[in-house]
Structure 1
Amino acid sequence: MLPKFDPTNPKVCMSLFEDVTSNAKQIQDSVLEAILSRNAQTEYLRGYLNGQLDKQSFKKNVPVVTYEDYRSYIDRIANGESSDLICDRPISVLLVSSGTSGGVPKLIPLTTEDLEQRILFASLYRPLLSKHVEGLSQGKSLLFYFMTRETETASGLMVRTMITCFLKSVNPTNSFLWDQTQISPHQISSCADTTQSMYCQLLCGLLQRENVARIGAPFASTLLKVIKFLEDHWNELCSNIRTGRVSDWITDAQCVSGICKFLTAPNPELASLIELECSKTSWEGIVKRLWPNAKCIESIVTGSMAQYIPMLEFYGGGLPLISSFYGSSECFIGINVDPLCKPCDVSYTIIPNMAYFEFLEVVKDQAGHDPVEKPVVVDLVDVKIGHDYEPVLTTFSGLYRYRLGDVLRVSGFYNKTPQFHFVGRQKVVLSIDMDKTYEEDLLKAVTNAKLLLEPHDLMLVDFTSRVDSCSFPGHYVLYWELGSKVKDKKLEPDQEVMEECCFTVEESLDSVYRKGRKNDKNIGPLEIKVVRSGAFEELMNLAVSRGSSVSQYKTPRSVTSEEALKILEATVVSKFVSRKTPSWELHEMYSSR
């Protein structure tokens, strides 16, 4: 675990970061020893180790598992059995994952001690960011966080998202740090009504626009939702600023109390300035125009979030996009030590104190798909540059050799600690015949295709996919929500352009897919269905109604839920099909080199 340190002292933070990354092997061995010695008598470990707590016995006898293998233990704790089934410390909360990667939210055990470690982990990053981005200390952060309504298990154990845990960790004894760094009062960010909270956070940001040094949200998709909300409500926000009164529909006591600290008098001059910017024909650079002293945009833009980079660049007006760190509900893992690098070059340096890390090598066959039957599991310091791995976690909160499901590519080392580029999820999202299209494959194909939209002032707002197996042969269906770079311009995508987008997606997929498309014998032509504006917000609302969080929500890159498909199909406004058959012989020659 991370040693106790003063998170407000930049020199101490930087010194600790250098120390832990220089001693990765020793720290990893110590972390495993500490976890095993603590939890040796838990039912889970006792069943595999029988008192043998050395590293070799652990690797030999404790299986590598997925959430489904582990679910029964978490369900038993949720139903009232003791935490010592898996952990020697009390499980204080069950974290609910976003549920958008696998379709169903997972419940992840978390101890109070582990939560404290995650907060310290975030503290390590602050001085690193200030070191690279000049002027951050001259203002505050407009970072959009949203509380999610918590639930209880049958035994009374709280179920929360990680963001909610973080917001609830702020209390009167440590709230001074929040007030020193954040534009919006904690009471507004911790409001359970997301709509009122979003409105009031934006209002706080506009009222203090000159004092905003950075702007962001946990994920790129979340920040884009905030910008869309601003686009829909800027007239009303300006009216509030002009009159000095918040809208009557803001009734939450926390929001009213928080906003009254800033909305103290009419400010027609500021309202007119904001109206001038928001009423322009194009919203290009709107973030920089509204917040002129902002130095950067901070949001996760790796993995599935990479699809939103062009839109953030469009709205950002040249502000650098910073992807801070890599983590999950299961564990906080790595930090981006080069925050000003291009989004496509982001790598995360593992913090070896956070868990015991192993890595399952991801090797694909020559056709580019199926993992080998017996993948190798290696320690953190034994990974090889250029190789792909799936993280396997052993945590202080009771997860043992747990497969995270992500794919990471080793990009280098910082001191003695490896750095990883986030590739995507280790999951087949589409398959009809012999083809297996992974999330990484689909993201690359869509990225290539959406370039065709740019000359027509169109942007891809969001997308997902499914397999249509009712047709013969079956075919891939992509749902695209489009947006215009020009305000109030009618969205009428050109048929030839969209058909070329269909073809470009197919051309970008691998040889197995393209061979299956030959003569339409095994796989039918790919189809793009354009959905109306707001369709993906409806999809998010469905996930939120099932326990997900606006702060953590990630659009699933493939959908199988009948409810989700009904939403998408009900919002389709136009359909396009690939009119050409992709080549495969030429690609086959290239892929074999």
Structure 2
Amino acid sequence: MSLPSYDPNDNEAGIKLLEELTTNADLVQQQVLEEILTTNSDTEYLSSFLNGHSDKQLFKTKLPIVDYQDIQPYIERIAHGDKSHIISAKPITELLTSSGTSGGKPKMMPSTAEELDRKTFFYNLLVPVLNKYVEGLEHGKGMYLLFVKPEIRTSSGLMARPVLTSYYKSSNFRKRPFNRYNVFTSPDETILCPDTKQSMYCQLLCGLVQRHEVLRVGAVFASALLRAIKFLEDFWRDLCSDIRSGRLSDWIADGGCREALSCVLKKPNPELADAIERECGGGGSWEGIIRRMWPRTKLVEVIVTGSMAQYISTLEFYSGGLPLVSTMYASSECYFGINFKPLSKPCDVSYTLIPNMAYFEFLPLLNDRDRDYCNGQVVKSQAVDLVDVKLGRYYELVVTTFTGGLDFLITWLYRFRVGDILMVTGFHNKAPQFRFVQRRNVVLSIDTDKTNEEDLLNAMNRAKLLLHPLGLLLTDYTSYADTSSIPGHYVLFWELTHDSSKPNLLVRDSLDSCLMEECCWSVEESLDSVYRRCRRKDKSIGPLEIRVVRCGTFDALMDLCVSRGSSLNQYKTPRCIKSDEALHILDSRVVARFFSPTTPSWEPTPLD
């Protein structure tokens, strides 16, 4: 079995291919699993369970469904240089780092040289779907703001890097076949610039110079596009100055950026600089700034599902009514599905899983109608196949990824719990469509960070030790992701009380600003490396805030939850607040606010 070949510029052929894949979803899935098991049956991991066999039923009954912790020892052996066929029959060429974490470090997924072909195939399938609904995209460019992340080299010499960094640095991206959808305003050199500030400045400058050619504006995540708007708000004067003079600012030191901009910023353009200045410096609202700055834009393409849904209202404000298009569902582990109705409202977005991308299974949630899907338990050992899921039900996604022949490439994971909770919303032919509900156990997320309840609790336990010299005790806490400003930041609500030695002293009067700021920093320092990278390197998350609330606040929060149907006997304080009404109760009782005074430590380091 090999990847189907077709001309990526032939929209009709692309749509036909998608129809064939979804119509024959069951057959394609069986072929995928057979290829995976046949190719890798002699690997150490598979043979320990299947003893060289490749039977589907044996696979279902003998091979366990695993989390990252279960396979981490195998991956660490690869990272340290073990070249035996541990989990793959093909040589491992790099490790893809996930935004999910384990023990404070990013997860690592082994990958091969062929994987990039599958990603390219997937990206090419997005084109005919979008062209089907939006006419004329071939007559202009896309201003997509894309960035690379830091890389590390393991002790074995393998590179470990995020999946998109791997793709952008590959020849598949840099030598992508001519396709009008792949024509960007940003030269590759600006995308590959390791300094995020220089990269952002140069990409925005290119987009402004070519503003009348831009038909699509976007980034991978909604948070990244909003950071770009905030960057434009802070640097429009500098950008106008460069455009007016036809000369790139001296502080741009990256050689690739300077060389690329010499081909874009060819001569002074005072008329364009005046137009940008009128829009940005007129003193009016920035509502609709995307449409005003790039007047021919037909859509804004960003992921606005999952944790990114919190940015929808802000994007709608800046976009001026342009459609918010979320085209794809993917992760470091695998590229999963495509939005076949790209112009649907963000709240209605569903993804059709493409059956030749991996072998998909689904763990049904026992309490799939519970409000808190993350706490829904799954039915043990009853994973169902792709074509057997039921409309309206909630499932946790399980993937088995593969290689099979030179045309295939994907990380090798066998019955791996991705951690995503999905709801079945319909079917396209035989392939189910899913709405992304949320990540399992994740309580806070601003950008690519994913903080779970255990990580938050551990950070709380470390920080609250600093309160003891003041005679203060942390009696309860909760949190929420504040995205009302750019960048967003974590907010912790703390209810404090005095110990028995100081019963009559008001909490507010005994708070020490320096020590409370140290508490904020201590929490940040205790969170995982992805969060700390976003804070220190990417600047995509703002300083963590602690809001101290008066005594009795969490009793009021419990009263609200009970009045809305929660059981008093089973009530637990929600560790992340989603309800506006609950947030109002907390905010109305705040007596003091403190922010982290500095960024936490972070350095990309090789594995030990």
Q: Distance in 2 between matches of 1:349 and 1:132?
A: 16
Q: Distance in 1 between matches of 2:458 and 2:549?
A: 15
Quote the residue 1:27 is aligned against: 28
Match of 2:144, as an amino acid?
L
Quote the residue 2:294 is aligned against: 291
Q: Percent same amino acid at aligned positions?
A: 48
Quote the residue 2:63 is aligned against: 62
Q: Deviations over 1:71-105 (max 9, x none)?
A: 01111111111262101111221111124799531
Q: Does 1:568 align with 2:571?
A: no
CA-CA distance at 1:384 after TM superposition: 0.6
Q: Distance in 2 between matches of 1:542 and 1:25?
A: 40
Match of 1:411, as an amino acid?
T
Q: Distance in 2 between matches of 1:251 and 1:390?
A: 46
Quote the residue 1:419 is aligned against: 433
Quote the residue 1:257 is aligned against: 259
Native 8 Å contact 1:467 1:474 kept in 2: no
Q: For structure 1, which segment, 292-301 or 133-142, has the greater mean C-alpha deviation from structure 2 after superposition? A: 133-142
Match of 1:10, as an amino acid?
N
Q: Deviations over 1:243-287 (max 9, x none)?
A: 111100111111001111111111111001001101132111111
CA-CA distance at 1:118 after TM superposition: 1.3
CA-CA distance at 1:367 after TM superposition: 7.0
Q: Distance in 1 between matches of 2:297 and 2:537?
A: 21
State TM-score, norm by structure 1: 0.77
What's the secondary structure of 2:475's corresponding residue? Answer: coil
What's the secondary structure of 1:277's corresponding residue? Answer: helix
Native 8 Å contact 2:141 2:181 kept in 1: no
CA-CA distance at 1:410 after TM superposition: 0.5
State TM-score, norm by structure 2: 0.76
Q: Does 1:364 align with 2:367?
A: yes
- Match for 2:400 among 391, 394, 397? 394
Q: For structure 1, which segment, 251-260 or 34-43, has the greater mean C-alpha deviation from structure 2 after superposition? A: 251-260
Distance 1:283 1:93, change over 3 A: same
What's the secondary structure of 2:267's corresponding residue? Answer: coil
Q: Deviations over 1:26-74 (max 9, x none)?
A: 0000000000000000000000001221100001100000001000111
Q: Distance in 2 between matches of 1:409 and 1:553?
A: 33
Match of 1:394, as an amino acid?
T
Match of 1:190, as an amino acid?
L
Match of 2:306, as an amino acid?
G
Q: Distance in 2 between matches of 1:317 and 1:359?
A: 39
Distance 1:78 1:584, change over 3 A: closer
Quote the residue 1:242 is aligned against: 244
Q: Does 1:384 align with 2:390?
A: yes
Native 8 Å contact 2:103 2:528 kept in 1: no
Q: For structure 1, which segment, 277-286 or 265-274, has the greater mean C-alpha deviation from structure 2 after superposition? A: 277-286
CA-CA distance at 1:168 after TM superposition: 1.6
Native 8 Å contact 1:96 1:548 kept in 2: no
Match of 1:404, as an amino acid?
V
Match of 2:425, as an amino acid?
S
Q: Deviations over 1:347-371 (max 9, x none)?
A: 0000000110001112228875553
Matches within 5 A, 1:463-474: 470=464, 471=473, 473-474=475-476
CA-CA distance at 1:150 after TM superposition: 2.3
Quote the residue 1:15 is aligned against: 16
- Match for 2:278 among 276, 279, 298? 276
Q: Does 1:588 align with 2:602?
A: no
CA RMSD for the aligned pairs? 3.6
Distance 1:6 1:101, change over 3 A: farther
What's the secondary structure of 1:95's corresponding residue? Answer: strand
Q: Distance in 1 between matches of 2:457 and 2:255?
A: 41
Distance 1:550 1:343, change over 3 A: farther
Distance 1:72 1:55, change over 3 A: same
What's the secondary structure of 1:307's corresponding residue? Answer: helix
Native 8 Å contact 2:153 2:159 kept in 1: yes
Match of 2:152, as an amino acid?
T
Match of 1:181, as an amino acid?
V
Quote the residue 1:148 is aligned against: 149
Q: Distance in 2 between matches of 1:479 and 1:3?
A: 42
Native 8 Å contact 1:20 1:351 kept in 2: yes
Distance 1:215 1:83, change over 3 A: farther
Quote the residue 1:52 is aligned against: 53
Q: Distance in 1 between matches of 2:485 and 2:562?
A: 36
What's the secondary structure of 2:223's corresponding residue? Answer: helix
Native 8 Å contact 1:146 1:551 kept in 2: no
Q: Distance in 2 between matches of 1:548 and 1:195?
A: 13
Match of 1:112, as an amino acid?
A
Quote the residue 1:118 is aligned against: 119
- Match for 2:339 among 336, 342, 347? 336
Q: Deviations over 1:295-349 (max 9, x none)?
A: 0000100000000101110110111000010010000000000000000000000
CA-CA distance at 1:2 after TM superposition: 3.1
Matches within 5 A, 1:211-230: 211-230=213-232
Distance 1:288 1:103, change over 3 A: farther
Native 8 Å contact 1:100 1:553 kept in 2: no
Quote the residue 1:159 is aligned against: 160
CA-CA distance at 1:583 after TM superposition: 3.5
What's the secondary structure of 1:235's corresponding residue? Answer: helix
CA-CA distance at 1:10 after TM superposition: 1.6
Quote the residue 1:314 is aligned against: 317
Match of 1:41, as an amino acid?
D
Native 8 Å contact 2:22 2:430 kept in 1: yes
Match of 1:371, as an amino acid?
G
What's the secondary structure of 2:317's corresponding residue? Answer: helix
Native 8 Å contact 2:534 2:540 kept in 1: no
Q: Distance in 2 between matches of 1:12 and 1:552?
A: 40
CA-CA distance at 1:6 after TM superposition: 2.3
Q: Distance in 1 between matches of 2:24 and 2:369?
A: 37
Q: Distance in 1 between matches of 2:102 and 2:324?
A: 24
Matches within 5 A, 1:431-442: none
What's the secondary structure of 1:418's corresponding residue? Answer: strand
Distance 1:24 1:50, change over 3 A: same
Q: Distance in 2 between matches of 1:144 and 1:551?
A: 17
Match of 1:318, as an amino acid?
G
Quote the residue 2:573 is aligned against: none
Q: Deviations over 1:402-426 (max 9, x none)?
A: 0000100000000100000000011
Q: Deviations over 1:139-174 (max 9, x none)?
A: 111111112232211111111211112212246754
Quote the residue 1:355 is aligned against: 358
Distance 1:101 1:10, change over 3 A: farther
Q: Distance in 1 between matches of 2:397 and 2:198?
A: 38
CA-CA distance at 1:293 after TM superposition: 0.4
Native 8 Å contact 2:104 2:529 kept in 1: no
Quote the residue 2:421 is aligned against: 407
- Match for 2:195 among 184, 193, 196? 193
Q: Distance in 2 between matches of 1:327 and 1:365?
A: 23
Distance 1:13 1:216, change over 3 A: same
Matches within 5 A, 1:170-185: 170=171, 173-174=175-176, 176-177=178-179, 181-185=183-187
Match of 2:243, as an amino acid?
I
What's the secondary structure of 2:564's corresponding residue? Answer: helix
Native 8 Å contact 2:368 2:394 kept in 1: no
Q: Distance in 2 between matches of 1:407 and 1:373?
A: 11
Q: Distance in 2 between matches of 1:223 and 1:412?
A: 30
Match of 2:237, as an amino acid?
N
CA-CA distance at 1:211 after TM superposition: 0.4
Native 8 Å contact 1:219 1:551 kept in 2: no
What's the secondary structure of 1:424's corresponding residue? Answer: strand
Native 8 Å contact 1:466 1:478 kept in 2: no
